[in-house]
A and B are shown apart, each in its own frame.
Chain A
Amino acid sequence: AFFLCAGDQNLFTALYGSLTQQLPREPMEWRRSYGRAPKMIYLEANFVQFKEELLPKEGNKALLTFPFLHVYWTDCCDSEVYKASVKEDMQRWQAALRLHGSVDWLIAVVESDNKKKNKTNLLPRTSIVDKIRSDFCNKQSDRCVSLCDPLKESSRSQESWSSFLTKLRTLLLMSFTRNLGRFEDEMRTLREKRTEPGWSFCDYFMVQEELAFVFEMLQQFEDALVQYDELDALFTQYVLNFGAGDGANWLGSFCQPVRSWNGLLLRRPIDMEKRDLIQRGEASLLDLRSYLFSRQCTLLIFLQRPWEVTARALELLHNCVQELRLLEVSVVSGALDCWVFLSCLEVLHRIEGCCDRSQLEANTSHTVGLWTYATEKLRCLGDLCGLVSENGPNSEDLNKTVDLLAGLGAERPETVNSPQSPYKKLKEALSSVEAFEKHYLELSHAAMEMYKAIGRLRSARLVGKSLAEFYMRKGDPRSAENFLLDSLKSYVSESWSLPLTHTRKQIAECQKQLQKMDEYLQTSALLASDTNLSDDERRHFCQEILTFASQTAEDARVALSMSSFTRLQELRFRPSSALVHVSAALQLELRLCSLMPVPVTLEQISASIHFTQEQPGSTAQKRAAQNPDGTVTFPAASPASASASALELCEILEHSPSDNVLSSAGVACRNMHLLMRQNDSATSLDTPNTALTALTLEDGAQMLRASDVTLLPGNNSIVFTAQKPGVYTLRQLCATLGQVQFILPHLYPVVQYEVYSQEPQLSIQPLTEHLLAGLPQQVKFTILTGHYSVKKGDALQLSNTDSMPVLHSSTCSARILSSSAELLAESALSIQSSEKVTSISLPVTPPYHTLEFLLEVLCHIPSCPARMESERLTNGQISRRSRTRFNSGMTLIDQKVSVDCPWSIYSTLVSLTFHVPFKVKHSLLSAGRRKFIQVCLQNLVFRQQCVFSVWELRWSSVSPVSLHCVFSAAFAPADAPDAALKPYTYDFTLERVSVSADGSDLSRVCVAAFHLSLCDIYCLR
């Protein structure tokens, strides 16, 4: 604060040193208006000799030079002298102050013992002070203070100093608060007038900045910053209002065309050049913004908030660009890029200047934005000035460069000696293609490193991508490739399709230039199937493949992934069981969705198949993926379905152990580790470059082939036919297009089919539920021809047996059925019988067909079952052809038929079981001495009917010891009563048994019993 000092100048000069030193030593509490928190401040002051012209005039806005306190110094201790001159001088001084409305004054009376001693007619010390007080300090006795022996080192002197300083501080602060308050009020009033015509932002700016200066001087940087922020906001609002059509005329001066773009200047505490421009109302928008920011920057650095500087800087630069656009200020193209570039680097330099390395590294996230922005801007300049091209700038580009350099002006003196100044960098970068490249690469790499260091990989890759674009423009695809592939990876892994397509297109261009044909074609295939592209673009990439494919170079075979070319959707087997015999048609229908934009004619589509060493029929359970209707659906390899395997969620309830109260409830994911892993290993979208190596066709694999197939865009169906016997697994698909092969290296789910080979089989089956003995019965001969084809002249040879003759009639015919039980033909059979064999000539039948015919046989009922056992064949061996057994009251006859088949050297034995339709029981009945034989014949086939016959036995002579009887019954089936069948006979024998009584009455008791063969008879005595 300023003090204006009047009175004895020599005295003041002697004290000046001590005063300026001691005044700021102790803080004062500063209470402030408007509820602002009180602060402790140290007061510093400048003491200036009083001159009337230094007094502020009405309407003065300068706070910094404002005299806050007027001090009148005197060491007068002689009342005469006082009356004679000093008083008068004081009065003049007071009058001057009053005239200027200044009420902050103090009269300091310095007392010195030395002086007192010399004079004798002295008034006591106090009296002169009292006199002054009564003369001047009307009720304000504190306005006059005395200072004792200030230049002596005594305790009295010190005490006096201390109280003097306290007084001085208090008064100064009072004055300061009052004047500042008044200043602020006036400033607010001025601000309220801002809608009035003639109001000038620049004038107001100067006023509020004065306040900021005062705060800054008081080290109240926060308050000072607030002043600038308010100015900033006010200006911003004006620009926005202007944009909304509500223009203030004073803004016009800020709309002048941008003529200079030398960037921010942050190396001066106050940029007086720019400040003068503002004061004169000649500042451009960039001038104002630059000045404002440089002040904010200074204060923020005082406040040790450098990271706020970088954040604000970025905002400022963006904002300036926007504001110039909004105000439609005319700017040379590239000028703003220069300004932004220089400003970014200037801010970074400033920050680097006030932070150490470790601080900088820890706060990369705050600076990297500026680095990137500078990089982008330099790139724009390079593009504009023809520095990013293979041929270098042309004359037009050079003209532009010259214009841009002109706007930079001369380098500022602050940086002239710094070799790395932003100014020099920009000038150098624009000077040549090589220099530009050096600087651009340096910045790009710096930005990328920083992004990587703080884990912003996507941002790093984006910078890398624009670096790649730079290299491509420079005709250096080799350097570009890795950057492109790197960013592609990130878009692939996160399925960002639009950036993916765009990057892939760039990669295609890069690979084409590098002559990496395999990769280029794979990329082209992906692009040709990419629906994000226009039809024209897709056709172009498809054509690239077709053109390559039609080249004739033999060694240039290229294997590409099929997934980019077509999508395998479904496979359908016909028949649906995927199980056929040899020579039957097993069709595999592939449903492919062609992703190409145009029809593509393939020379061949082949499916390689793998022969599986497995037992036929054992594959059924492995074909879980095959639906019952014979289709296999292949999952679409969409990223969502691949990565989104279902969450396994479970409920988790935790009870506190002490009182079993529910303490927490939640849901947990059990298969988190799986899901997380999927996320990491990101194979969701097709990544052809990694898959290329796996695209090899299995050597020597068996193939199913379809030739000359035209795949139309969209769904297609291709039919393969399988014939070779065996169990096969589908392994790979390969579409051949000239030199290009599209390969699907694995088919999942596993698809299997089986072609089996079958031996011919003969079976003979009864036509009815039971075969009955004694009656002609029809049996069905079924021949499954299998792989055997029945030729003309082939015949079945049946060995004849007496017990079961074959009855053949001329009407016998055979039916030929296909494997799907379709009747194909019917033809008559010729049957010839000799003594030993019956020969049946078979009609010609193709393999895997069924031949059926019926034959009538008659199984004789053995007249006495007991005798069957001893029947002998003609060759003397015991017959095993026919065996009689009993089962649940039925008599069964097993007949074995021996058949010689044309396809085998061995005889086939077929067993037929006949049921004897009757059951006979006989019994001997007695009535007194008369004897009767009762025979019961039971029909087992029809209603279990029984027929009883009774005969009385009479003997004309002596009864025979044994009587052989034969019961015979003629029968006929109900539906053919006239059939001449061999009657059913039943043999039995009656035997006389003599029973000897044990003594008493032999003649009376004579019980005769006949033993019946095969029956149990109990003899009683």
Chain B
Amino acid sequence: MNCPLYIRSVPTQGELKFHYTVHTSLDVVEEKISGVGKALADQRELYLGLLYPTEDYKVYGYVTNSKVKFVIVVDSSNTSLRDNEIRSMFRKLHNSFTDVMCNPFYNPGDPIQSKAFDSIVSTMMVQAC
């Protein structure tokens, strides 16, 4: 499907660039998902790690078992965010996303408009800044 369910960037100027970046990163996500010869243990691993670095940003990926993709882009100069922090951010996102999906009024495939999800994302972004 690969249509965006939720995109948020802080600050909002230059948002377009991130949309391009995230969209392009799907290439690598798909490559990693379809990765042949992956060990069985790896297949359970939802965190895809660093998708690719750019001069200014680091792009990380995560994919749920139902192939819903999460992508986090952080400033390269932000060194406080190591692999572990990114992992836990993804886990939080995944949990909150699961809650959204459990909402009977949510129609799968629609853009996410959930206050709870919003606030989870906001707290993560505050931490990251």
Give A contacts to B, CB under 8 Å: 240, 243, 314-315, 317-318, 321-322, 325-326, 365, 369, 373, 451, 454-459, 462, 490-491, 494-499, 502, 639-640, 643-644, 647, 679, 684
Contact A326 B77 (CB under 8 A): yes
What 18 new A-B contacts, CB under 8 Å, besides A314-B53, A491-B23, A502-B16? Answer: A317-B55, A318-B53, A318-B54, A318-B76, A322-B77, A325-B77, A451-B27, A457-B27, A458-B23, A459-B27, A462-B20, A494-B2, A495-B4, A498-B15, A499-B20, A640-B110, A644-B109, A644-B110
Q: Which of A457, A496, A639 has the most CB of B within 10 A?
A: A496
Q: Please provide the chain B residues from 74 to 113 with a CB less than 8 Å away from any CB of chain A in the complex.
A: 76-77, 79, 107-111
Chain B hits for A496, CB < 8 A: 3-4, 19, 23
Contact A318 B108 (CB under 8 A): no
A-B contact pairs, 22 of them (CB 8 A): A240-B79, A243-B77, A317-B55, A322-B77, A325-B77, A365-B31, A451-B27, A454-B31, A455-B30, A456-B28, A456-B31, A462-B20, A462-B24, A490-B23, A494-B3, A496-B19, A497-B4, A498-B16, A499-B20, A640-B107, A643-B1, A643-B3
Contact A499 B27 (CB under 8 A): no
User: Distance (Å) between the CB of B38 and the closest chain A CB?
Assistant: 15
User: Distance (Å) between the CB of A452 and the closest chain B CB?
Assistant: 11
Chain B hits for A462, CB < 8 A: 20, 24
Chain B residues within 8 Å of chain A by Cβ, number:
29
Inter-chain contact total with CB atoms closer than 8 Å: 76
User: Distance (Å) between the CB of B8 and the closest chain A CB?
Assistant: 12
Complex partner residue of A322 from B1, B23, B76, B111, CB under 8 angstroms: B76
B26: Cβ under 8 A from any A Cβ: yes
User: Distance (Å) between the CB of B48 and the closest chain A CB?
Assistant: 15
Complex partner residue of A458 from B27, B52, B79, B107, CB under 8 angstroms: B27
A315–B19 CA distance with the chains assembled, in angstroms: 22
Interface of B is mostly: loop
Contact A458 B53 (CB under 8 A): no
A495–B110 CA distance with the chains assembled, in angstroms: 11
Closest 4 CB pairs of A and B: A495-B3, A456-B27, A644-B109, A498-B19
Q: Which of B30, B54, B55 has the most CB of A within 10 A?
A: B55
Chain A hits for B76, CB < 8 A: 318, 322
User: Distance (Å) between the CB of A678 and the closest chain B CB?
Assistant: 10
A317–B31 CA distance with the chains assembled, in angstroms: 24
A325–B19 CA distance with the chains assembled, in angstroms: 25
Chain B hits for A369, CB < 8 A: 52
User: Distance (Å) between the CB of A464 and the closest chain B CB?
Assistant: 12
User: Distance (Å) between the CB of B67 and the closest chain A CB?
Assistant: 12
Closest to B26 in A: A458
Closest to B2 in A: A494
Query: Given the interface contacts A318-B55, A495-B4, does A644 sit within 8 Å of B27 by beta carbon?
Result: no
User: Distance (Å) between the CB of A666 and the closest chain B CB?
Assistant: 12
Closest to A678 in B: B1
Closest to B52 in A: A369
Chain B hits for A498, CB < 8 A: 7, 15-16, 19
Complex partner residue of B53 from A315, A454, A455, A639, CB under 8 angstroms: A315
Chain B hits for A647, CB < 8 A: 108
Closest to B25 in A: A458
Q: Which of A325, A457, A495 has the most CB of B within 10 A?
A: A495
A498–B109 CA distance with the chains assembled, in angstroms: 18
User: Distance (Å) between the CB of B16 and the closest chain A CB?
Assistant: 5
Chain A hits for B28, CB < 8 A: 456
User: Distance (Å) between the CB of A37 and the closest chain B CB?
Assistant: 24
Chain B hits for A639, CB < 8 A: 3
Contact B77 A644 (CB under 8 A): no
Closest to B111 in A: A640
A496–B9 CA distance with the chains assembled, in angstroms: 15
Contact A499 B19 (CB under 8 A): yes
A458–B25 CA distance with the chains assembled, in angstroms: 8
A455–B15 CA distance with the chains assembled, in angstroms: 26
Closest to B108 in A: A644
Chain B hits for A497, CB < 8 A: 4
Chain A hits for B4, CB < 8 A: 494-497
A451–B24 CA distance with the chains assembled, in angstroms: 11
Complex partner residue of A640 from B52, B77, B109, CB under 8 angstroms: B109
Chain A hits for B53, CB < 8 A: 314-315, 318
Closest to B1 in A: A679
Closest to A644 in B: B109
User: Distance (Å) between the CB of B33 and the closest chain A CB?
Assistant: 12
A243–B31 CA distance with the chains assembled, in angstroms: 35
A404–B26 CA distance with the chains assembled, in angstroms: 36
Query: Given the interface contacts A322-B76, A458-B24, A494-B23, does A499 sit within 8 Å of B16 by beta carbon?
Result: yes
User: Distance (Å) between the CB of B7 and the closest chain A CB?
Assistant: 8
User: Distance (Å) between the CB of A326 and the closest chain B CB?
Assistant: 7
Contact A459 B16 (CB under 8 A): no
Chain A hits for B31, CB < 8 A: 365, 454-456
Chain B hits for A243, CB < 8 A: 77, 79
Closest to A675 in B: B1
Q: Please provide the chain B residues from 43 to 57 with a CB less than 8 Å away from any CB of chain A in the complex.
A: 52-56
A325–B56 CA distance with the chains assembled, in angstroms: 11
User: Distance (Å) between the CB of A233 and the closest chain B CB?
Assistant: 13
Complex partner residue of A644 from B16, B52, B55, B107, CB under 8 angstroms: B107
Contact B19 A459 (CB under 8 A): no
Closest to B110 in A: A640
Chain A hits for B77, CB < 8 A: 243, 322, 325-326
- B5-19 interface bits toward A, Cβ cutoff 8 Å, 1 = contact, 0 = none: 001000000011001
A451–B108 CA distance with the chains assembled, in angstroms: 32
Chain B hits for A684, CB < 8 A: 3
Closest to A643 in B: B109
Closest to B18 in A: A498
Contact A321 B55 (CB under 8 A): yes
A318–B50 CA distance with the chains assembled, in angstroms: 14
A456–B31 CA distance with the chains assembled, in angstroms: 8
A325–B75 CA distance with the chains assembled, in angstroms: 13
A326–B79 CA distance with the chains assembled, in angstroms: 12
User: Distance (Å) between the CB of B50 and the closest chain A CB?
Assistant: 10
Chain B hits for A315, CB < 8 A: 53
Closest to A457 in B: B27
Closest to A326 in B: B77
Chain B hits for A491, CB < 8 A: 23
A644–B111 CA distance with the chains assembled, in angstroms: 12
